[in-house]
């Protein structure tokens, strides 16, 4: 890459950034609501229809870090990095089945966060607190990683220097982001998501048409990639164009574990709860794979970078470097703006989700139980600022690798809320103390396993004659479920009292269409087991 400042790219970049800034502040007036209420600020009043939800979840789930990290993984390892595609395919059948239930029960009881649901379902403060803390812990490094995505493209345009000068553009971008999230709440990222997604689609479609033409077609790209993998020194990790049989368990457990974890993150749940009804979520489960197709194309860019002979300083730089090598400056500016704006949408939603969790499940539950809705909303706004300042500090003052490692751990941690949250949507069979202990053991084991492997996602298992290298999050989840299942009858027999379940079986179902006569049912009956 050339060392100098890419003025054309930077000008185009800044113009688009300015556009979304104006949109972000304007969003406060969009579908006006009383933003001093947490449900309005933090969930935009649960009024988003199919189209807005499509853009919002698309903008929230396919982040800047994804756009950088997925092709970087393919660039580094080839086929093994492609698990992102089955992951983002399998997530939607799962969303289709589970998330409308969560939406219905949340609407019925005015739950804003997953931990609100856990409190209502199990009637246990400790378990709700545990779920809230896990959510916050998993989200903070994720916000920090969005900054990494931004940092990469800003750096690739030649904006550099040392110390504060290097970080200044990032700090400015984040102050702007913090300001409009504060004033507009979830409406800001929803509106910006429109611009972001259209820009990303354009960028990727142009890239997958133009770059293969320049490189002599996909057949040539793949043979060049295989040749490059073969030429790597024996000491380097081997890559492959076709997944070797030994990598199968890692591939499928990473895909499955990530798919099950994706909609346990507070920010994705926030996007789901902001939709207007359960069928909006279901319809989107069929429409969102359009983004998955796009992600697959983005992943292929990793092979194109190999075939183009890109030699990036770090794998994260592979895609920005490929764009710089292949496109005129003005398009590079457009593409980089698309990536940077991709960072803004999830970062805003993540900070809102983390702030909701803190406010509802720690501040209101423990510190100020008498908080009025206005106090809640004001508190959440302030915490959303704090969360972003924290994430910024993390990136500016600590090595980037810390954020990457923590986000990897975050994925392991968040999946450990599965038994409580997802199983809880279907059954009250599990005892809350059994779930808490299962969570604790799985969190400890998962963290330990990740550290034991030098902070990588995979841990080799040996059970009798069977051995496999698999995703730590899934291994820990199995332990989690087994512990919770064994301890549930133990605690019930020991007579440890269960909390009160405020939900009933029909709260999880779609409300009947207006005019439908339904048989009356007794209220407060425990949910079906």
Partner 1 sequence: MRSPQTRPKRRGWNWLLLLPFLGLLFPVTYAHAEPALFGLPFFYWYQFAWVIGSAIITGLVFAVTR
Residues that bind partner 1 (CB under 8 A): 79, 82, 85-86, 89-90, 92-93, 96-97, 217-222, 241-245, 247-248, 251-252, 255-256, 279, 282-283, 285-287, 289-290, 292-293, 296, 300, 505-506, 509-510, 512, 518-519, 521, 528
Nearer to partner 1, 14 or 205 (CB): 205
Query: Which residue in 331, 354, 256 sits closest to 42, CA to CA?
Result: 354
393 CB neighbour count, 10 Å cutoff: 11
Least Å distance between CB 280 and partner 1?
11
Crossing angle (nearest 10°) for helices 50-61 and 329-358: 100
Least Å distance between CB 327 and partner 1?
22
Q: In sequence order, what DSSP letters do the residues of 30-91 get, joined into one string? A: TT---TTSHHHHHHGGG-B-HHHHHHHHHHHHS-HHHHHHHHHHHHHHBGGGGGHHHHHHHH
458 CB neighbour count, 10 Å cutoff: 20
Least Å distance between CB 511 and partner 1?
10
Nearer to partner 1, 82 or 265 (CB): 82
Task: Tell me how far apart the alpha carbons of residues 115 and 196 are, in angstroms, rounded to a whole number.
Answer: 30
- Per residue, the 3-state secondary structure of 281-312, as one string, reads HHHHHHHCHHHHHHHHHHHHHHHHHHHCCCCC
Least Å distance between CB 303 and partner 1?
9
Least Å distance between CB 487 and partner 1?
27
Nearer to partner 1, 230 or 509 (CB): 509
Least Å distance between CB 288 and partner 1?
8
Bridge partners (DSSP) listed for residue 471: 458
Q: Residues near 1 by Cβ (< 8 Å), separated by ≥ 6?
A: 156, 317, 321, 324
Nearer to partner 1, 7 or 290 (CB): 290
Least Å distance between CB 471 and partner 1?
12
Strand, coil or helix: 375? helix
Nearer to partner 1, 136 or 472 (CB): 472
Least Å distance between CB 57 and partner 1?
14
79 CB neighbour count, 10 Å cutoff: 18
Nearer to partner 1, 16 or 87 (CB): 87
Task: For CA atoms 513, 519, 520, 526, give the dihedral sign.
Answer: negative
Least Å distance between CB 282 and partner 1?
5
Task: Tell me how far apart the alpha carbons of residues 223 and 241 are, in angstroms, rounded to a whole number.
Answer: 9
Query: How big is the chain by its Cα radius of gyration, in Å?
Result: 23
Query: Which residue in 106, 35, 125 sits closest to 352, CA to CA?
Result: 35
Nearer to partner 1, 247 or 320 (CB): 247
Least Å distance between CB 461 and partner 1?
17
Least Å distance between CB 188 and partner 1?
29
Nearer to partner 1, 401 or 516 (CB): 516
CA 469 to chain centre: 24
Token pair 């931004």: residue: 150
Nearer to partner 1, 289 or 499 (CB): 289
Task: Tell me how far apart the alpha carbons of residues 258 and 417 are, in angstroms, rounded to a whole number.
Answer: 13
CA distances from 101 to 110, 173, 249, 491, 507 (A): 14, 37, 31, 28, 8
Task: Tell me how far apart the alpha carbons of residues 291 and 454 are, in angstroms, rounded to a whole number.
Answer: 32
Cα distance between the two ends of the chain: 61
Least Å distance between CB 267 and partner 1?
22
Nearer to partner 1, 82 or 174 (CB): 82
31 CB neighbour count, 10 Å cutoff: 14
Nearer to partner 1, 251 or 413 (CB): 251
Nearer to partner 1, 247 or 312 (CB): 247
């Amino acid at each position: 890459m050339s060392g100098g400042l890419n003025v054309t790219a930077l000008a185009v970049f800044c113009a688009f950034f300015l556009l979304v800034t104006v949109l972000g502040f304007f969003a406060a007036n969009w579908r006006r609501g009383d933003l001093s209420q947490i449900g309005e600020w933090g969930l935009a009043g649960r009024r988003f229809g199919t189209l807005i939800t499509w853009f919002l979840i698309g903008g929230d789930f396919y982040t800047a870090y994804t756009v950088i990290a997925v092709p970087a993984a393919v660039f580094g390892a080839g086929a093994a990095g492609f698990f992102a595609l089955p992951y983002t395919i399998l997530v939607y059948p799962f969303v289709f089945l589970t998330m409308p239930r969560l939406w219905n029960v949340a609407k019925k009881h005015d739950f804003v966060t997953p931990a609100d649901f856990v409190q209502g379902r199990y009637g246990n403060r400790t378990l709700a607190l545990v779920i809230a803390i896990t959510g916050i812990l998993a989200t903070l490094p994720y916000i920090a990683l969005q900054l990494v995505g931004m940092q990469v493209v800003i750096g690739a345009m030649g904006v550099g220097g040392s110390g504060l000068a290097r970080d200044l553009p990032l700090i400015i971008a984040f102050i702007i982001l913090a300001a409009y999230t504060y004033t507009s709440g979830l409406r800001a990222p929803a509106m910006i998501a429109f611009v972001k997604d259209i820009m990303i689609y354009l960028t990727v479609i142009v890239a997958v048409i133009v770059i293969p033409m320049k490189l002599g077609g996909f057949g040539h790209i793949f043979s060049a990639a295989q040749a490059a993998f073969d030429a790597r020194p024996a000491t380097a990790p081997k890559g492959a164009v076709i997944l070797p049989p030994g990598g199968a368990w890692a591939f499928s457990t990473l895909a499955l574990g990530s798919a099950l974890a994706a909609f346990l993150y507070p920010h994705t749940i926030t996007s789901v709860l902001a939709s207007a009804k359960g069928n909006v979520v279901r319809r989107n489960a069929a429409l969102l794979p359009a983004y998955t197709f796009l992600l697959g194309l983005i992943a292929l860019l990793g092979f194109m970078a190999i075939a183009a002979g890109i030699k990036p300083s770090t794998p994260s730089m592979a895609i920005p470097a490929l764009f710089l090598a292949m496109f005129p400056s003005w398009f590079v500016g457009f593409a980089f703006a698309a990536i940077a704006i991709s960072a803004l949408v999830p970062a805003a939603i993540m900070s809102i989700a983390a702030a909701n969790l803190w406010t509802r499940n720690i501040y209101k539950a423990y510190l100020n139980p008498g908080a009025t809705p206005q106090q809640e909303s004001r508190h959440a706004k302030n915490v959303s600022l704090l969360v972003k300042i924290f994430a910024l500090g993390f990136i500016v003052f600590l090595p980037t690798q810390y954020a990457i490692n923590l986000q990897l751990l975050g994925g392991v941690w968040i999946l450990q809320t599965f038994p409580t949250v997802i199983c809880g949507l279907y059954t009250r069979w599990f005892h809350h103390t059994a779930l808490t202990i299962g969570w604790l053991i799985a969190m400890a084991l998962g963290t330990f396993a990740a550290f034991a492997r030098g902070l990588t996602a995979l841990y080799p298992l040996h059970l009798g004659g069977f051995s496999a290298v698999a995703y730590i999050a899934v291994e820990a989840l199995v332990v989690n479920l087994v512990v919770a299942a064994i301890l549930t009858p133990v605690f019930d027999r020991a007579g440890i009292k269960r909390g009160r379940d405020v939900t009933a079986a029909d709260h999880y179902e779609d409300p009947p269409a207006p005019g439908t006569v339904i048989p009356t049912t007794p209220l407060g009956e425990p949910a079906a087991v």
